[in-house]
Amino acid sequence: MNTLKAVCDAVLKGVTSGTARVPGVVAMVTDRNQDIYSGAAGERVLGGTPMTADTVFAIFSTTKAIAGTAALQCVEEGLLDLDAPAKDYAPAIGKLQVIEGFDANGQPKLRAPKRDVTTRMLLLHTGGFGYDFFSETYRRLAEEHGQPSVVTGSRGAIETPLLFDPGERWEYGTNIDWVGQVVEGIRGKKLGAVMRERIFDPLGMDEIAFTRTDAMKARTATIHARGADGSLTPMDGFALPDNPEVDMGGHGLYATVPEYMKFIRMWLNDGAGPKGRVLKPETVDWAVKGSLVPPQKVTMLPGVIPSLSNDAEFFPGLKKDWSYTFMVNSEDAPTGRPAGAIGWAGLANSFYWIDRKNGFGGYWATQILPFGDPVSFPGYMDFETAVYRSMRAAKAA
Is 64 a residue of the active site?
yes
Phi-psi region of 254 (alpha: psi -120 to 50; beta: other; left: phi over 0): beta
Q: Is the peptide bond before 295 cis (omega within 30 degrees of 0)?
A: yes
Cα angle 301, 306, 310 (rounded to 5 degrees) comes to 35
How far is residue 211's CA from residue 200's CA, in Å, rounded to a whole number? Answer: 14
Is 254 a residue of the active site?
no
Helices and strands, number each (H, E), in the chain: 11, 17
How far is residue 230's CA from residue 22's CA, in Å, rounded to a whole number? Answer: 10
Catalytic residue (one of 37, 64, 254, 363): 64
- From start to end of 9-148, where are the E strands? 24-31, 35-42, 56-58, 98-102, 108-111
Write down the H helix ranges in 150-190. Answer: 175-187
Rg (CA), the chain: 20
N residues, the chain: 397
Catalytic residue (one of 89, 138, 172, 260): 172
Let me know: does 24 contact 41? Beta carbons within 8 Å. Answer: yes
Cα angle 14, 238, 13 (rounded to 5 degrees) comes to 10
Catalytic residue (one of 61, 309, 376, 390): 61
Let me know: does 182 contact 325? Beta carbons within 8 Å. Answer: no
Could you give the residue numbers annotated as active site?
Answer: 61, 64, 172
